[in-house]
Amino acid sequence: MPFCPNCTYEYKEGIKICPDCGTPLVKELIDHEWVVVYTSDQEYDVQMVKDALESTEIEATILSQKDSNFPVTGDLAVIKLLVKSEDAASALTFIKELNKTKPEEE
């Protein structure tokens, strides 16, 4: 079944582009297993980590429940950053370093 890496929805055979977000569908979830390496309730925060990862050639995808059709309330509004399972270890190390060098927040 084709699968949208962005929305994580499955679509019927024959559909090539996600009707929801326009992302090209991947063949199967098992093409790449995406794993969550970072979560935040702040979208800019997740976007920053994504940009940093991509600057090191690690492909990352933001999964925001705001994009889905489900109503979101309170704590459920978590934004996730996913990378391919083979990149997970280096991504996690990278994020750890990133947070270490982040200026202290008040």
CA-based nearest residue to 60, from 48, 78, 76: 48
Minimum CB separation of residue 6 from Zn ion in Å reads 4
Which one, 11 or 90, has the nearer CB to Zn ion?
11
Q: Quick one: which of 2, 3, 6, 80 contacts Zn ion (CB under 5 A)?
A: 6
Which one, 68 or 93, has the nearer CB to Zn ion?
68
Q: Quick one: which of 18, 37, 46, 81 contacts Zn ion (CB under 5 A)?
A: 18
Q: Return the residues of window 23-42 that contact Zn ion according to CB under 5 A.
A: 23
Q: Are 59 and 51 in contact (CB under 8 A)?
A: no
User: What are the phi and psi torsion angles at 54 (to 5°)?
Assistant: -70, -25
User: What are the phi and psi torsion angles at 39 (to 5°)?
Assistant: -135, 150
